[in-house]
Structure 1
Amino acid sequence: MRARVGQRVPVVVQGRGRRRGVARVLWVGAETVVTCGVVVLLLVVHQLWWTNRQARAEAREQVTALEREWQDAWEISPPGDTPEPTESGGPVRSPAPVEPGGSGSSVGPGTADGNGAPAEPSGGASSDTFAVLRVPRLGLTVPVAHGVSKRSVLDKGYVGQYPGTAAPGAVGNFALAGHRNTHGEPFRHVDRLEVGDRILVRTRARTYVYRVDQVLPRTAPRDVGVIRPVPRSLVKPSYGYAEAGAYLTLTTCTPEFSSAYRLVVWARLVSAG
């Protein structure tokens, strides 16, 4: 059958449909990238903002609760009437120099997450707070708890005491760990401490004043010598001490947002009152 004069014959252009398919694929790909970007951004906001806000609030509440409890106890029985057995200055146990081997294996500063926080020790850790750490230069006030468990201590914005280290004020090494970034990041600016700066540790019975004596800017994660009763770096032996004393050690990760190395601050006890 012949086409009538003036009648249009349809023409199929196959290239146009192919271009539409490519465009659709590109659009879906772009949406996926944007969605992933938003998810990553939310995760970053959660880690860098929300965990800090939450942990700092909990740490402030814990400090307030501790000080209120101590005040009530002081009104009932002033310090001096009841000795504090945990701070008697008795024998100090040396922390076992266990090499890190995964989560929950070491009391040293080597087993850590991305914030320089040591992993939970194998024997379990108590999250009970027993002291308040104050660093005037940094404007820092934070509760101190037994153990270095991430979940029950460090992620709450607390500072944790390494198991087996000395009590506050006692002969030996009162060694502490804290997050450098996220979860309250109490040790964010410990790199600003200088020799001579004061660090105060308040307990139920008294307040101990330490003075910063040495700063080890960087050492290996497995340098467990820094938290021994007489602290001395095993990696950099020129840093540390040779005689017994009442020491305070602060440890965290360095550089920021990395767990590549450890930053260590040592202080000596100068007074107790």
Structure 2
Amino acid sequence: MTALRPERDSGAAPVGAADDGASYGEQPYEGFGAWQGQQGRQGYAGTGAGREGASYEQQAPQSSYEATAVLPVLSGYEDPETYEAPDRRGAFAPRDSETVALRTVDIEGMPRAAERAGESSGPAPGGRAARRKAARRQGRRHAGRSQTAEKPAGSAGAAPLSRVEARRAARARKPSAGVIASRVLGELFITTGVLMLLFVTYQLWWSNVRAHQQADRAAQHLQQDWASGKREPGEFEPGQGFAILHIPKLDVAVPIAEGTSKSAVLDKGMVGHYGEEGLKTAMPDARTGNFGLAGHRNTHGEPFRYINRLQPGDKIVVETQTEYYVYTMASLLPVTSPANTSVLDPVPKGSGFTKPGRYITLTTCTPEFTSKYRLIVWGKMVEERPRSKGKPDALIR
């Protein structure tokens, strides 16, 4: 802060100034205009550098500092306690409305003095309120820096990682052997489940669709041959169809083929005749004997699925090229071993028949969807009707 000059304190006239009857110290202060006019008459009194009679504007100041130091006093900053010298650019800070303290002026392109001061270790200038504001601003800056420092690697604005840190981050991102093994095991389980679901769908649905189509084509082929008068010999090749089985109660009409091969007969939706050596049974036109048939209970057309529902007296009809053979259901064996071949004997054991006759035996797996045991149904022929006489009553609805 610049103090008043000694000449003004003592009341003495400046050196080299014209005396118009009153000393400088005795002249009343009438504001800047009055003082400037008076100086125009007396001339600027400094250190002797001014010319007597010259105006204040015509005299150049001795230094820029002295001219600048006087301006605050002439601009109304009379109180020495609240006045501070302007900065090096000549700008004055306004008073704070709360503490009557000075605030720094933010000039575009230049850093603020309070911010520079806040970044240093010294206290913020001004009163208590100004120091609080500077502290809050400084806290916000530090908080922003800390948030930037806490940003994860790879994010925008984050500092680049060193080689060691980058390698560690890459290893951390790489899955471990346990994770890879669990993923592979999970994929295997999912694949196995999908395959099992497809297999079940094929067995329970698609196999039936395919078998029904194949059985229907075989039945149509037989009927066309019979209608054309094509004669078939008494012996048939394995897989060759030669008759049609009707079970009216169960709404079953399925071709009968020679043999019990799964691939050639049973899986195609047809019923197989036990004609192989060791399990060879009689044909329907035999005078005595047991006509044995096998069929699927589940899947592949499942023609014998509901034969367990047959009751004594229900009709079973075998249709050939020349005859209808009508049987009446006689008895049922719910469970027996697959090795029990005695059920196919000419007089089957367990059937209730006691003497030779013309019998029919139906065999299938049990329980459903398994092949652990066999279910047996027996019937006895009650009618032989030529095709020329029309269908038997059992097939007329």
The answer to whether residue 283 in structure 2 is matched with residue 167 in structure 1 is yes
Show the counterpart of 2:213: 57
Show the counterpart of 1:36: 192
Show the counterpart of 1:222: 339
> Where do 1:118-129 residues align within 5 Å?
126-129=238-241
**Alignment-mate amino acid for residue 255 of structure 2:** P
> Where do 1:84-103 residues align within 5 Å?
86=234
SS in 2 for 1:229: coil
**TM-score under structure 1 length normalisation:** 0.72
Quote the offset at 1:255 in angstroms.
Answer: 0.4
Q: Which structure carries more helix by proportion?
A: 2
Show the counterpart of 2:390: none
> Where do 1:90-239 residues align within 5 Å?
126-163=238-275, 164-170=280-286, 171-233=288-350, 239=351
* Structure ID, larger Rg: 2
Q: Distance in 2 between matches of 1:14 and 1:85?
A: 81
SS in 2 for 1:71: helix
Q: Distance in 1 between matches of 2:327 and 2:254?
A: 16
| Kept in 2: contact 1:169–1:269 (CA 8 A) | no
SS in 2 for 1:242: coil
Show the counterpart of 1:67: 223
The answer to whether residue 201 in structure 2 is matched with residue 45 in structure 1 is yes
Q: Which structure carries more strand by proportion?
A: 1
RMSD between aligned residues: 2.8
Gaps of 5+ in 2: 1-148, 150-158, 386-397
The answer to whether residue 183 in structure 2 is matched with residue 27 in structure 1 is yes
Show the counterpart of 1:264: 376
Q: Distance in 2 between matches of 1:215 and 1:43?
A: 33
Quote the offset at 1:130 in angstroms.
Answer: 0.6
Q: Distance in 1 between matches of 2:249 and 2:262?
A: 26
Q: Distance in 2 between matches of 1:23 and 1:162?
A: 57
1:98-136 CA distance string (max 9 Å, x none): xxxxxxxxxxxxxxxxxxxxxxxxxx9611111000101
Quote the offset at 1:61 in angstroms.
Answer: 1.0
Cα gap change, 1:69/1:19 in structure 2, threshold over 3 Å: closer, same or farther?
closer
SS in 1 for 2:263: coil
Quote the offset at 1:25 in angstroms.
Answer: 3.0
SS in 1 for 2:330: strand
SS in 1 for 2:239: coil
Identity of aligned residues (%): 44
Show the counterpart of 2:356: 244
Q: Distance in 1 between matches of 2:327 and 2:197?
A: 41
Q: Distance in 2 between matches of 1:266 and 1:85?
A: 27
1:125-169 CA distance string (max 9 Å, x none): 611111000101111110001111111111111101101211114
| Kept in 2: contact 1:125–1:149 (CA 8 A) | no
Quote the offset at 1:63 in angstroms.
Answer: 0.8
| Kept in 2: contact 1:51–1:183 (CA 8 A) | yes
What is the aligned residue count?
Answer: 219
